[in-house]
């Protein structure tokens, strides 16, 4: 047998083995494909019908003039009119301003939460009591919380104003009944209710800092402030960034508190994007207009989410 013939034969054998392997492999692949699809299909179908389809519909509806009562054939396409109407609507503009003011709750909540987290991480006994205590508002329903605060804020009889009367303040603000104080009152409740969540995350961040870092700092004679600035803050930067982003997104979604406590009033002083959306869609039945608000909301959240993706890579490093 010539060398050539031998090598050809060898090649053929190798080819055969390969093709058998490929056959077997493709069968396994087929099985994997089927199994994979079966496992993920309930989620895909659910998300497809209840999220993807609706978000597309939201964009389409934002170009329409329509309400729930009219049939789908009565739909009237109005181009960008709904978006124009947004910028002429005082309720909408006020909502955007209020949403922006509401952003202040995020850093304030974070500062309080960080302080509490630092104190209960190392400097107290009964650590788990404190965790539960500050976490209580997070597990309580916003409806119950809002109702309790509504009574606490009662202008004449509420415990808060009674206390202010008793220490000699004659004209305390009427809180949620006063257009100048209503938004601040709601913000106070929001901060109070968000501290627990932020604190738990800061605590987790603090606990992940290796003890050796502090010990080394002690040996170098670092002050408490040095340790805070040079060890804690850098180590907590991913947590801080995460809380900032989720906090901001959270403020754009505030609804329960407004719906139960103020219904956007008095005189629109506490209206927010989602409340305005809800009122326009389900009270005024202006579907096209409300969908335009929904698009704006979506875009706000999208921008912040994109910032998060970019920022995470750049900023979070230690």
Residues 96-135 that bind other proteins (CB under 8 A): 119-120, 123-126, 128-135
Instruction: Pick between residue 225 and residue 309 the one whose CB is nearest to other proteins.
Output: 309
Shortest CA distance to 256 belongs to which of 151, 204, 159, 186? 186
Q: Judging by DSSP bridges, how do beta strands 64-65 and 76-77 pair with one another?
A: antiparallel
Q: In the set 95, 252, 262, 279, which binds other proteins (CB under 8 A)? A: 252
* Of the candidate residues 17, 36, 74, 230, the single one contacting other proteins (CB under 8 A): 36
Q: By CB under 8 A, tell whether 25 contacts other proteins.
A: no
Cα separation, 266 vs 271, in Å, equals 9
- Vertex 218 angle, CA 226 and 240, to 5°: 40
Nearer to other proteins, 8 or 168 (CB): 168
Instruction: Identify the residue among 9, 47, 80, 111 touching other proteins (CB under 8 A).
Output: 47
CB 298 within 8 A of CB 62: no
CA distance 153 to 105: 19
Q: Find the part of the chain contacting other proteins (CB under 8 A) among 10-18, 83-91, 177-185, 250-258.
A: 250-258
Beta bridge partners, 76, equal: 65
**Binders of other proteins among 139-158, rule CB under 8 A?**
139-145, 147-152, 154, 157-158
| List 8, 22, 204, 307, residue binding other proteins (CB under 8 A) | 204
CB 140 within 8 A of CB 133: no
Query: Is 200 one of the binding residues for other proteins (CB under 8 A)?
Result: yes
> Number of residues in contact with other proteins, rule: CB under 8 A?
95
Minimum distance of other proteins from residue 249's CB (angstroms): 8
> Hey, which residues between 276 and 315 contact other proteins (CB under 8 A)?
277-278, 281-282, 287, 290-291, 294-295, 297-298, 301-302, 305
Angstrom distance (rounded) from CA 232 to CA 146: 35
Helices 105-122 and 182-207, packing angle to 10 deg: 40
């Amino acid at each position: 047998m010539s060398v050539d013939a031998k090598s050809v034969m060898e090649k053929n054998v190798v080819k055969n083995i390969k093709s058998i392997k490929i056959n077997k492999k493709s069968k396994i692949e087929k099985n994997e494909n089927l199994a994979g699809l079966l496992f993920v299909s309930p989620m895909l179908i659910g998300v497809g019908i209840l999220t993807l389809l609706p978000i597309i519909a939201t964009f389409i509806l934002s170009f329409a003039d329509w309400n729930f009562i009219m049939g789908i054939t009565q739909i009237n396409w109005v181009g960008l009119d709904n978006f124009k109407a947004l910028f002429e609507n005082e309720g909408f503009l006020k909502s955007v301003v209020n949403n922006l003011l509401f952003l202040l709750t995020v850093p304030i909540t974070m500062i309080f939460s960080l302080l509490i987290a630092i104190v209960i991480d190392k400097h107290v006994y009964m650590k788990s009591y404190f965790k539960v205590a500050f976490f209580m508002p997070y597990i309580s329903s916003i409806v119950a919380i809002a109702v309790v605060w509504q009574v606490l804020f009662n202008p004449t009889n509420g415990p808060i104003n009674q206390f202010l009367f008793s220490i000699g303040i004659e004209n305390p603000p009427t809180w949620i009944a006063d257009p100048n104080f209503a938004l601040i009152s709601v913000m106070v409740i929001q901060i109070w209710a968000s501290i627990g969540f932020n604190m738990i995350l800061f605590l987790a961040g603090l606990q992940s800092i290796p003890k050796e870092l502090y010990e080394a700092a002690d040996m170098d004679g670092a002050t408490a402030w040095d340790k805070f600035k040079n060890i804690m803050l850098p180590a907590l930067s991913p947590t801080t960034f995460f809380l900032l982003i989720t906090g901001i997104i959270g403020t754009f979604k505030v609804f329960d508190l407004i719906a139960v406590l103020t219904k956007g009033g008095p005189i629109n002083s506490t209206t927010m994007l989602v409340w305005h959306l809800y009122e326009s869609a389900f009270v005024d039945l202006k579907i096209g207009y409300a969908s335009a608000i929904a698009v704006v909301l979506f875009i706000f959240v999208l921008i912040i989410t994109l910032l998060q993706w970019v920022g995470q890579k750049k900023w979070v490093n230690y």
